[in-house]
Amino acid sequence: MSGGKRDDEEAAASQPEEPAPDVSHLLAGEGSGRHAQDAVDDIHAAARIEAGASAEHGFGQAGAPFDRGSPFFIGLVGALGVLVAIALAWFVVELGQVLVLLGLAMFIAVGLDPAVHWLHHRRLPRWIAVCVVLLGAVGLFIGFIALAVPVLVTQANHLAHEIPHYLRSLNNHNTTLGKLNKRYHIVTRLQQLIDKGGTSTLAHGVLGVGKAVFDVVAAAIIVIIISVYLLADLPRVKRGLYRLAPNSRRPRMVLLTDAIMSRVGGYVLGNLLTSFIAGLATWAWATVFGIPYALLLGLLVALLDLIPVVGSTIGGVIVALIALTVSPAIAIATFAFYLVYRFLEDYLLTPRIMARTVDVPGVLTVIATVIGATLLGIIGALIAIPVAAAIKLLIEELAIPTLDRT
């Protein structure tokens, strides 16, 4: 019984395999007298058999690869590469502003993520942690506005009451403004400017300022909205970045990406710490020497100090100008105070904090900030240090080991 079965199997194996049906004659137009739908069904059935389609491979086995060494293939790939490079360059140039805003939003989301992560590990759901962090940021902004608006309204009312006094002083040759008007003909020049179309020029200037303010507000709203979405969905964004690497290199990609994002978060934390110190020092100085609006000035300097290198300097100049309302001596002392603080922050405070949180040397911090400010202005100065930290990490982990092996 078993011998007969074995003979049948050997006989079946000795028979030549039936060749897979060829689809080419169906595509060439044979059987054109049949119904069109039947012809398509035949083509599909024959293609499934010829491709070796199965439950595991629904579309069959992949065919033989192209000859990548052929001149046609090399030329085609080279031409496509050039076209892709040109298209990418055009894309970056045309959408440069949008890409900068997206990068800034990503930077803010990654910078705030450590706080969300910390709250999440305190057994808070991630969406609640995101809401807590956002409410803290919004509360700080609202507090600054609540302090600034009354001051601006008071100063505007004061200026409106002082304008008639200034006009009378311009016509009085015994006052300083009157002497300046007599010498430089200020009123006459203003009238000539208005008569020669100055009103139109002024209107264009006002429209230009209004457009610039609108662009800034629109950009800020876009960055805030995208930052909120990225912060809420950052784990999924990370997983998407991880999958961009090949499977063989993915573990290292995960570690490097997490390290870079950790350094960005450390930079934001360190920058907030230095800004808090600058604001606290400003509030204490203004309180001691009787400079008005001490708390508002402290918040202003803290916000401006978020901009590396130049932020606290701009804030110091503003505080020194306001100190003129007290006395010239206090203004000079305030300016000297900020020179000393600038020196201490640049050479003592910031290098130590950044070296611990971002692992970037002090000289590289200054160089990166200057380059970033030159390329992208304030936004470039803001993100320069974490970008330098990321580049430094990639060079240390990828480029230097390769150079050591060669």
CA–CA distances in Å: residue 350 to residues 9, 281, 283, 370, 404: 83, 15, 20, 15, 32
pLDDT given for residue 86 in this prediction: 92
Cα 234 → chain centroid: 14
Alpha helices in 172-249 (DSSP H): 176-184, 186-193, 199-232, 234-242
Instruction: State mean pLDDT over 27-56.
Output: 67
pLDDT in tens, 276-292: 888 899 999 999 998 88
DSSP string over 277-292: HHHHHHHHHHHHTT-S
CA–CA distances in Å: residue 7 to residues 15, 17, 18, 29: 13, 18, 20, 43
pLDDT over 80 (residue 257): yes
DSSP type of residue 245? S
* Per-residue confidence band for 21, with pLDDT thresholds at 50, 70 and 90: low
Between 28-32, 112-116, 201-205, 238-242, the lowest mean confidence (pLDDT) is in 28-32
Between 17-21, 228-232, 255-259, the lowest mean confidence (pLDDT) is in 17-21
DSSP type of residue 88? H
DSSP string over 308-353: TTTHHHHHHHHHHHHHTTT-HHHHHHHHHHHHHHHHHIIIIIHHHH
pLDDT given for residue 187 in this prediction: 64
- Phi-psi category of 35—alpha, beta or left, where left has phi over 0 and alpha has psi -120 to 50? beta
Amino acid symbol at 208: G
User: From CA 171, how far away is CA 288, in angstroms rounded?
Assistant: 40
CA–CA distances in Å: residue 371 to residues 82, 351, 381: 29, 18, 8
Most trustworthy range by pLDDT among 47-51, 54-58, 379-383: 379-383
DSSP string over 1-31: -HHHHHHHHHHHHHSPPPPPPPSHHHHTTTT
* Per-residue confidence band for 167, with pLDDT thresholds at 50, 70 and 90: low
pTM across the whole model: 0.64
The secondary structure element, H or E, covering residue 377 is helix 362-394
Instruction: State mean pLDDT over 377-396.
Output: 83
Given the structure tokens 């640049």, which residue do they identify? 346
* 346: number of Cβ within 10 Å: 17
pLDDT in tens, 94-147: 887 888 888 888 888 888 888 888 888 888 888 888 888 888 888 878 877 887
